[in-house]
Amino acid sequence: MTMMETITKDLTTAMKDQDKFTLSVLRMLKSALQLEKINKKHDLNDEEVIAVVKKQVKTRKDSIEEYTKYDKKEEVENLTKEIEVLSKYLPPELSQEQIEKAIDEIFADLKPESIKEMGKIMKEATARLGNAADMSLVSKIVKEKLN
């Protein structure tokens, strides 16, 4: 079963169970997927679906940071619950130790000498780690190692 089919099935289940919260989150996700499908002009494969879900999660994490600054606890709780619903559709992420190990291997292979080579390192990290890692964390670790 493809990711799209799974999401559609879960959406139907949420409707039948009258789970309004999950239903609204899945509808937002479904519309984001539909928009991406229109932009790409073809049906999305699982990798593309995962990319859209990650983007949705990242948007919510950014919003949590903003709401936390202004002490809006209710919105933060809702966004956290939304992230939990969306996270079901993501592959398990690598731990920070696993990411650091992979970055150490990339550094051993490429032997970067300055921050100017950050792009090359990030390109290699994206190729090796793909959707299994939080790329903002990868970027942060790479910057620390380069400085």
How far is it between the farthest Cα atoms of the chain? 58
Confidence grade of residue 5 (pLDDT, cut at 50, 70, 90):
very high
135: pLDDT strictly greater than 90:
no
What CATH number was assigned to the domain covering residues 96-146? 1.10.10
Above pLDDT 90, what percent of the chain?
Answer: 53
* Mean pLDDT value across residues 7-11: 96
Q: How far apart are CA 106 and CA 109, in angstroms?
A: 5
C-alpha closest to that of 134 among 87, 99, 84: 99
Please, are residues 106 and 125 in contact by the beta-carbon 8 Å criterion?
Answer: yes
Domain ranges of the chain: 3-87, 96-146
Q: What is the pLDDT of residues 78-94, one digit of tens each?
A: 999 999 999 999 888 88
- Cα–Cα distances in angstroms (integers) from residue 35 to residues 44, 108, 138, 139, in the given order: 11, 40, 28, 28
Alpha carbons within 13 angstroms on the beta-carbon side of residue 104 total: 6
Is domain 3-87 annotated with CATH 1.10.150.110?
no
